[in-house]
Structure 1
Amino acid sequence: QDPATSSANIGLTKKIWKTGGQITASLANDLVLYINGKPKVPDLTLKLTQPLLRGAGADVAAEVLKLAERQVVYQVRDFSHYQKTFALNVVNDYLDLLQQADSMRISYNSYTNTIFFRTEIEARADAGLLAEYDVKQAQEDEYDAKLSYIASTNSFQNSLDNFKQELSLPQGTSIRLDFKVLEKINELGLPQVPIDDLTGYSLAISNRLDFLNHIDRFEDAKRSVEVARNSLLPGLTFDAEAKLKDQLYDSFDPNEYDSTLKLKLDLPISKVSERNAYRKSIITFEKQLRTLATQLDTLRRGVRADVRNLARQKASYYTQLAQQKNAEENLLATKERIRLNFPGVRTSDIIRARKGLTSAQQAVSRAIVDYHKTRLKLRKDVGILDTTQEEFWLKTDAMLGGQPGPTPDQQDQEVIPPNQILGD
């Protein structure tokens, strides 16, 4: 009679990544029932395939997996860098809003002072101490201060609307500014940032997440050249196979198997596509090399600019602070002289002194905010800005050995002659 037959096949393939080889195990369970009802032992085959030239080696075998892992790392780094950039942009815009609000308050105080000044001038004119021309000058000064205040309110409201849009808030949303932030910045003063251009450049290369991507992409292009060069080699493969002989269960002997060893040589006639891929990899590598060199120069230039801008903002702040003090003293002295009817003192002198003080006060308010914005930008550009800290915009660089900044009385900004800058 005919035998009854059923079968099941199982195959398993495992890569050996470090060598580029493969191990294949297959199990074929053919249950052939003979007249006596005895089943046959399943067929078990083990096969090893190891490339010796083309496709051999860890770099070639693991390249696809390595590139996939790198892409994940690149995306994480890019997103983290975007988070820091976005957080810093929001903080900068908020500081600008606070500064504009402070400038608006200064403009309003200046406007109210012009009203009192105009009233005083009118009283002096009624008493015959001043001419009508002085009253007209005081009125003109009041109009100018009013227009300046209106312009500052308009500028602030426009900036506030832009800030809402940046945060994707409805334009009808009410926002109350926290002026304690500005008070804390004024209390902090101008902390020193112990970073020069060389130190900042070294920190940026080690810590900037976006720049680490540029370096790693260059390494990827370098490896791709080696992988493409490997594809030009001939195919030489070592094959080893072991297979159990057909046996019955009652007479099974594990030593009964067939084995074969082979060397396969593949010499393709045409390698046009492989050569084209190799040339393309070289072009990509050279392009990535130029890109990395450009990014290095851009990074160095950006850090140098940040360091110079920080020094300029520092000098500007202390200069504006001294100018504000001088303007306050000048206004008080001019008011005292006109009160005592000193000869040669005009109403226009008071107006000029008041405008000078208002301008100096606004400049000081703007200078300290600009300094901290530049300080934060420098920390971000060198990769040491940690936006996960609470109130990170107030954190100093004490961990880098920074010292508190000098007081205004201790600050003496040296003016560098042009010949030192030009190298004459």
Structure 2
Amino acid sequence: MIPEPPSARRPLPAALLTFVALAAGGCLSADEYRVQADDEVYAIIAERRAEFVADPEAFTIDPDGESLAWRYMSGEIPLSEPLGPIGLVECIRLSAATDTEVQSRKESLYLTALDLTFARYLFGVQPNAGASATLTGQNEGLEATSAAASVSAGFSRVLGSGAQIVGNVGLSIFRGLLSSEDWDPASSIGFSITQPLLSGFGSAITLEPLTQAERNVVYEVRSFERFRRTFAFSIASDYFRVLQAYDTLENAEANLASLVLLSERNVALAESGRLSDTQVDQARQDRLRAETSVIDSRQTLEGLLDNFKDRLGLPLEVELSLDRTELERVVESGIEDLGHTADEVIELALTRRFDYRNAVDRIQDSERDVMIAADDLRGSLGLDIDVNATSQPGQPLAYDKQGFFWSVGLDLDLPIDRLSERNSYRGALVSLQAAERSAADLAISIELSLRASLRELVSRKQAYEIQKNSVALAERRVDSTTLNFEAGRVETRDLLEARDDLVVARDALTRALVDYHLATLALYRDIEALVVDEDSLRPDDEALEALTENDE
């Protein structure tokens, strides 16, 4: 055999370096890893949210650099430029873009889904690769005596039965720098299986971390969606209170305008001797009181607007106005009976409420914890199978029987000392009881809250009807008193009292309407039937259909 020239065998180190360079080049940058994580997490969140929301909006934890609040803060939009009138849905979006609790909730959901990606990874194929190089010397000087390098690649995977599979291949080279000019290559192949046969056997035990991670994402999505509804309601509550303050100011200004006319008329009548000075002073006194009322109402409105601008994340210097047609639409829709009994509403709530569904599902989690803790009480018996092969020296692709090794073994751990496992099992039983109590307590709390909400809805409806009749009566009284006053049959005080009562009645009617509307929204929120769409905050049609089906 013609010996292979050294020059033909020396490229091996170059090949190893090429492999290492290619492997290193295949690694991602930090920003690419971030994008990869975002893509995977956002896909999980979108899939889970679609189970609970008909048309979920895009989800991201990145701050909105183009939000209206940011544009005001950055100076892109001058603070002197007024904003509005803006509607309720737009206000909800503006607030959600800057609210810190919304951001915290989003980040919590993101991190929970991120944990799931790792749990899925643990039960998938996990590749690995590496390389090493060593230079060795033994003389007193700095002269090296030998050099070695190696590369390896492999994988591992956990199966549903609990078995762990590990495989690897490796290539190494060695050269004695004082005695040889050639590299001596060698390769190896290894494969092993570890299978638990007693404790830890089966998919129910093995896949529990993945199962819990999947369920944690579902819980967090439910909590996030419930928070979104609660958050939207809180913005709606503030929004309609501002509209109520607008209406109160408008009533006060209208009353002041009428009192100015009355005061001027009384002065003219007094100058002609047809009206006493007392009645003139009465009109003036009420006019002054009305001016104070306008000032107070305007101050109240401005305070509510400042607080609302803060909720929207807007600078307080911005002149904000709201879409008052939102209140007009509520007035036009009027008051409608819910048309369902308390038992029907409670039954629907216990079916739809995300927090209650989480509490019930956590009972199942606790039951699985008990099962796993009971499994840990058993002894463990593991089956180990190893197969390894090493190539012939200098021939990395040549294998023979002398380089082949295998082993089969059993590893038994008798359940003699199980104090820690015993305590874990007992603790799991206690946690199960606590989870059952928590779900039962929440069901009772939901029922009590809904019954109180339904009673409040009835009382708000009655208050609205009363105030509606009160306004009609006050308007008729003002009309008749005005006619009698012009005919000289009543005094100024009678007309002033009638107009004061009309202002009070109108303010009370608006307050009663807003109270009823918010009580209705709160009820839909509490039965998980509140939807924010493109135009309004409204009840979920699917929930209303479910209530109707229950009636039938």
How would you bin the TM-score normalised by the shorter chain? 0.7 to 0.9
Q: Residue 199 of structure 2 aligns to a residue in which SS?
A: coil
Partner of 2:411: 264
1:179 to 315, 318, 324: 324
Shift of 1:88: 2.4
Partner of 1:107: 252
Contact 1:49 1:239 in 2 (8 A): yes
Q: 1:274-318: per-residue Cα shift (whole Å, max 9, x none)?
A: 222223323333333222222222222222222222222222112
Given the alignment of the two structures, is residue 295 of structure 1 paired with residue 437 of structure 2, yes or no? no
Partner of 2:351: 206
Shift of 1:227: 1.4
Partner of 1:72: 217
> How many residues of Structure 1 are paired with residues of Structure 2 in the alignment?
391
Counterpart AA for 1:172: E
Query: 1 CA distance for matches of 2:370 and 2:278?
Result: 84
Partner of 1:220: 365
Partner of 2:476: 329
Q: Residue 435 of structure 2 aligns to a residue in which SS?
A: helix
Contact 1:194 1:402 in 2 (8 A): no
Query: 1 CA distance for matches of 2:492 and 2:541?
Result: 49
Partner of 1:352: 497
Counterpart AA for 1:100: A
Given the alignment of the two structures, is residue 12 of structure 1 paired with residue 155 of structure 2, yes or no? yes
2:455 to 285, 289, 308: 308
Summarize the alignment of residues 356-367 of structure 1 with structure 2, pairs less than 5 Å apart.
356-367=501-512
Q: Residue 321 of structure 2 aligns to a residue in which SS?
A: coil
Q: 1:170-209: per-residue Cα shift (whole Å, max 9, x none)?
A: 1101112222222222222224434443333333333333
Query: 2 CA distance for matches of 1:383 and 1:250?
Result: 66
2:198 to 32, 53, 56: 53
Shift of 1:369: 1.9
Counterpart AA for 1:266: D
Given the alignment of the two structures, is residue 277 of structure 1 paired with residue 424 of structure 2, yes or no? yes
Counterpart AA for 1:290: R
1:236 to 363, 376, 381: 381
Partner of 2:98: none
Given the alignment of the two structures, is residue 393 of structure 1 paired with residue 537 of structure 2, yes or no? yes
In structure 2, relative to structure 1, the CA distance for the partners of 1:152 and 1:245 (3 Å cut) is: closer
Counterpart AA for 1:106: N
Contact 1:239 1:261 in 2 (8 A): yes
Shift of 1:150: 1.3
Cα-Cα RMSD:
3.5
Shift of 1:25: 3.8
Given the alignment of the two structures, is residue 93 of structure 1 paired with residue 235 of structure 2, yes or no? no
Shift of 1:244: 7.3
Query: 1 CA distance for matches of 2:538 and 2:328?
Result: 11
Counterpart AA for 1:235: S
Query: 1 CA distance for matches of 2:468 and 2:488?
Result: 30
> Once the two structures are aligned, what percentage of the paired residues are identical?
30
Counterpart AA for 2:226: H
Query: 1 CA distance for matches of 2:482 and 2:185?
Result: 118
Shift of 1:398: 8.8
TM-score where L is the length of structure 1: 0.79
Shift of 1:116: 1.8
Mean Cα deviation higher: 376-385 or 97-106: 376-385
Partner of 2:306: 161
Query: 2 CA distance for matches of 1:111 and 1:6?
Result: 95
Partner of 1:190: 335
Q: Could you list the runs of 5+ residues in structure 2 that have no partner in the other structure?
A: 1-147, 175-183, 548-552
Q: Residue 176 of structure 1 aligns to a residue in which SS?
A: strand
Counterpart AA for 1:304: R
Counterpart AA for 1:334: T
Query: 2 CA distance for matches of 1:290 and 1:398?
Result: 30
Query: 1 CA distance for matches of 2:229 and 2:479?
Result: 47
Contact 1:194 1:397 in 2 (8 A): no
Q: Residue 155 of structure 2 aligns to a residue in which SS?
A: strand
Given the alignment of the two structures, is residue 23 of structure 1 paired with residue 182 of structure 2, yes or no? no
Query: 1 CA distance for matches of 2:342 and 2:453?
Result: 8
Query: 2 CA distance for matches of 1:30 and 1:222?
Result: 51
Query: 2 CA distance for matches of 1:9 and 1:396?
Result: 58
Partner of 1:62: 207
TM-score where L is the length of structure 2: 0.62
Contact 2:529 2:540 in 1 (8 A): no
In structure 2, relative to structure 1, the CA distance for the partners of 1:31 and 1:129 (3 Å cut) is: closer
Q: Which has the higher contact order (CA 8 A, sep 6+)?
A: 1
Query: 1 CA distance for matches of 2:543 and 2:384?
Result: 60
Q: Residue 531 of structure 2 aligns to a residue in which SS?
A: coil
Q: Residue 302 of structure 2 aligns to a residue in which SS?
A: helix
Counterpart AA for 1:307: L
In structure 2, relative to structure 1, the CA distance for the partners of 1:8 and 1:155 (3 Å cut) is: closer
Shift of 1:322: 0.8
Q: 1:132-185: per-residue Cα shift (whole Å, max 9, x none)?
A: 322222222222222222111110000000001111111101112222222222
Query: 2 CA distance for matches of 1:245 and 1:338?
Result: 116
Q: Could you list the runs of 5+ residues in structure 1 that have no partner in the other structure?
A: 33-38, 404-424
Contact 1:40 1:246 in 2 (8 A): no
In structure 2, relative to structure 1, the CA distance for the partners of 1:171 and 1:207 (3 Å cut) is: same
Query: 1 CA distance for matches of 2:305 and 2:398?
Result: 91
Partner of 1:317: 464
Query: 2 CA distance for matches of 1:273 and 1:382?
Result: 43
In structure 2, relative to structure 1, the CA distance for the partners of 1:392 and 1:402 (3 Å cut) is: farther
Shift of 1:106: 0.5
Summarize the alignment of residues 399-414 of structure 1 with structure 2, pairs less than 5 Å apart.
400=544
Q: 1:81-113: per-residue Cα shift (whole Å, max 9, x none)?
A: 333322222222122111110110001111111
Query: 2 CA distance for matches of 1:251 and 1:153?
Result: 93
Contact 2:391 2:399 in 1 (8 A): no
Contact 2:391 2:397 in 1 (8 A): no
Mean Cα deviation higher: 168-177 or 214-223: 214-223
Query: 2 CA distance for matches of 1:62 and 1:168?
Result: 45
Query: 2 CA distance for matches of 1:398 and 1:110?
Result: 45
